[in-house]
Amino acid sequence: MQKLIECVPNFSEGRDANIIRQITDAIESAEGASLLDVDPGATTNRTVVTFVGTPEAAVEGAFRGIQKAAELIDMRKHKGAHPRMGATDVCPFIPVSNVTWEEAIICAKQLGQRVGEELKIPVYLYEKAASNPLRVNLATIRAGEYEGFSEKIKDPAWKPDFGRASFNQKSGVTAIGARAFLVAYNVNLNTKTVRRANSVAFDVRENGRVKTEDGTPTGKPVLDANGEPVRIPGLLKHVKAIGWYVEEYGIAQVSINLTNIDETPLHAAFDACNESANKRGLRVTGSEIVGMVPQKSLVDAGRYFLRKQNLSEGVAEEELIEVAIRSMGLSELKPFNPQEKIIELKMESAASKKSLLKLNLRQFCNETLSDSPAPGGGSVAALIGALGVSLGGMVANLSAGKRGWENQLSYFSAWAVKAQGLKDEMLLLVDEDTAAFNKVMAAFALPKGSAAEKSAHTAAIQSANKEAAEVPLRVMETASKAYELLAEMANKGNPASISDVGVGLLAVHACIEGAAMNVRINLPGIKDEALKSALLARLDKLRTESESKFKAIHQIVEGKLG
């Protein structure tokens, strides 16, 4: 699995498209760096850029972007609504796939050293890369902003981690760090008043507000025993928020950073703002995501809003995303395109664009019927299994919505959610089986002139044959999990849908038997007798268990059909 890390540099230019393009072109010029999103803001005069790559590519792409920003942006002329301290204000690295925190921190330090030494820009390490506990919080480093740093940097306590302790007037200073995924999220209010937006922000953010003697924002602060202001905590943990006015939209917003979306998800922030706004006579009119968001955030939000509506959560992820978009008004200010705003969807590779799953039913059948050997029986078996699981999930959803069965909603909804996950696993195996077959064909096509080539040819064939046998075994194992779902639906599901359970059962059984054939046809090509024996043992066990479960559920279905 390839190492993949995300980098989200924020540049202090959001109005000049030409400057923004030159910066992003510089990032993309680094081999292996893939640009995902460019999100400029005119009012903030700031652009959030998101790109991914291997750790090496991410460091190189970030350096080139910072270098170009230093060339094109003059902070002495910069004005904007967002707090900032440099041409590249902040540049975090975020682990995405197969990257440890240690590796992300190394990326931050490597980049910081290059920026400090080669570009003469003072660099402060923050969050998990911070060398000083006082610099973990970005807001602490940024305090005083660009205008205050000419004096701040002279303080020994604010000696940069990299670069000289002298202020770079043109480029300012830069914070580079390693952090967990942060979602920048703005909630729209039906007011233009920043003061009212700040009231909502103070209600929801973790840091809350300063307690005053008379309870008013302008009252005398209440001090603790150490003489520090006492704070009233806000509703949500891991949330930073302020209110601001956005001229281009003509509204005030609560601008939120969600720093731990596992603990405080997107929908929790939306609902908290909604609750606060309603208490203050305001109304939330929608929201927007700045930059990109993990797919899980919107899937979880979709499920949350379906629960609030007493509806089954067991719908496709595409529908869950649409529910989240509508429920949080993510398209109110400008269209929210999931393919552009969701990381996983944006990162679909060229290979995925050739996926069999991209074909419609007629195209899939035509491709199967053609003289090409793939897709073949293995992919078709996996698809049949996915259809069988889908029928079981359909019965769960129908049962969840049955009138008079409202007290069983959560039970059937949970089964429908399981069915969705299982269906998605089966669909992935449709492509994996074809890919495994193609690897076998590619291995046989390798040259075998020299002794070295013959050795490589043989090794490649053995590796490909092993995968070609293991993938249909995974199809069998995955499809077998559907029996539990089908048994529950046969016993407890809507009786009017018993025939659907029966068809789903036959499909799952056919899937397992079909996949077994694909295992058996690939076993003779494996020379490792121990491995072959182990694969055969797994095969026999899965088939035996499948027959037993199939017969038991089939008997229930037949009994209810009459």
- Are the C-beta atoms of residues 561 and 498 closer than 8 Å to each other? yes
Q: How many residues are listed for the chain in this entry?
A: 562
Helix (H) or strand (E) holding 125: strand 123-127
Beta strands in 337-438 (DSSP E): none
Query: Is 433 an annotated catalytic residue?
Result: yes
Q: Who contacts 25 (Cβ-Cβ below 8 Å, separation ≥6)?
A: 68
What tokens appear for 445 in the block? 């096509």
183-189 sheet: strands from edge to edge? 239-246, 251-258, 183-189, 284-290
- Are the C-beta atoms of residues 234 and 275 closer than 8 Å to each other? no
**Cis amide leading into 55 (omega within 30):** no
DSSP string spanning 319-364? HHHHHHHHHTTTTSSS---HHHHBHHHHT--HHHHT-GGGS-HHHH
Catalytic one among 39, 89, 300, 433? Answer: 433
Integer Cα distance of 415 and 485 in angstroms: 7
Query: Is 203 an annotated catalytic residue?
Result: no
**What SS3 state is found at 187?**
strand
Residue type, 360: N
How far does CA 331 lie from the centroid of its chain? 19
Integer Cα distance of 269 and 437 in angstroms: 47
3-state secondary structure 247-287: CCCCEEEEEEEECCCCCCCHHHHHHHHHHHHHHCCCCEEEE
- Are the C-beta atoms of residues 20 and 13 closer than 8 Å to each other? yes
Catalytic one among 82, 238, 267, 509? Answer: 82
Residue type, 15: R
Integer Cα distance of 401 and 309 in angstroms: 12
- Are the C-beta atoms of residues 121 and 132 closer than 8 Å to each other? no
Which are the catalytic amino acids? 82, 433
